[in-house]
Amino acid sequence: MAQIIDGKKISAQVKAEVAKEVEALSQKGISVGLAVVIVGNNPASRVYVNNKKKACAVCGIQSYEYALPEDTTEQQLLELVDQLNHDPKVNGILVQLPVPPQIDDHKIIAAIAPEKDVDAFTEGNVGKIMIGEYNLLPCTPAGCLDLIDSTGVSIEGKNCVVIGRSNIVGKPMAMLLLHRNGTVTICHSRTRNLREICAQADILVAAVGKAGFVTADMVKEGAVVIDVGMNRNAEGKLCGDVDFAAVEKKAGYITPVPGGVGPMTIATLMRNTVTAAKEQNGLLLYS
């Protein structure tokens, strides 16, 4: 039976560390602020944004919410981003994705000042992650890495399989595992022999977006299984990409949904916001 990796507990530890840093900065007269932008009425996005604001409150970070209507134009959103780029109270800017279809998300991301890009989505920050020289962490992958580290299982030399190749999760996740000397395979919808490849994984990260996609026959005995999925099953219940009940019996460690990766993404966002504030105040050693 797998040990459950408690993302809630680990994220609370990260947020407590962040809160200490925020307090230390406030002693120096520096306040830390995050702008959270949401466009439209996506119910899942609403929940995520509320959770991000709550985390800010826990950490002592000022949050500034900008809730724009569904019919917001690309130009209007670009103007808001430009305003936030120049607002000294705002150290980090987060535009919750997805945005409505009339808005090109690539253009919006490109408009965010790189030093305020707390999602690490802009081209320059993605490039820094590629070469391993970065201060701003990719939120979900860095959170997954913390969860893997919490097990005490070393990544070095291990077979690491990432299912999913998105810019937000799959690709940066693979990079972080590679920087830690994992032997990394990225699988996706066109991968042949997916089951066989996954079954070789010592560390398996599922970021597919399909409920119950990872079944027990795809998992190696004793593996670390990290479930990035956030899906609703037929009964409308929140569930991940992993068939938890079956895989739990085979894996060594497994993250639950909810209570696994989700809280860690937000904890990393808080960490990035403090990093951004430090960098903007000349308090980081390198940038």
Interacting residues with ligand GUN between 160 and 219 (CB under 6 A): 168
94: contact with ligand GUN by CB under 6 A: yes
Q: Which stretch binds ligand GUN (CB under 6 A): 89-97, 127-135, 217-225, 245-253?
A: 89-97
Among positions 14, 32, 95, 137, the unique one binding ligand GUN when judged by CB under 6 A: 95
| Minimum CB distance to ligand GUN, residue 157 (Å) | 29
Interface of this chain with ligand GUN, residues 33 to 72, rule: CB under 6 A: none
Q: How far is the CB of 45 from ligand GUN (least distance, A)?
A: 7
Residue 81 binds to ligand GUN (criterion: CB under 6 A)? no
Greatest distance between any 2 Cα atoms in the chain: 57
Using CB under 6 A, which residues numbered 120 to 159 contact ligand GUN?
Answer: 139-140
Closest C-alpha to 169, from 182, 186, 153? 186
CB 70 within 8 A of CB 95: no
Residue 97 makes contact with ligand GUN by CB under 6 A: yes
Q: Is the N-terminal amide bond of 98 cis, ω within 30° of 0?
A: yes
15, 117, 119, 220: the catalytic one is 119
Q: Is 96 a catalytic residue?
A: yes
Residue 209 corresponds to which amino acid? G
Task: State how far the alpha carbon of 255 is from the alpha carbons of 106, 160, 184, 284, in Å.
Answer: 31, 16, 20, 33
User: How near is the Cβ of 119 to ligand GUN at its closest, in Å?
Assistant: 5
* Residue ranges binding ligand GUN (CB under 6 A): 94-97, 119, 139-140, 168, 265
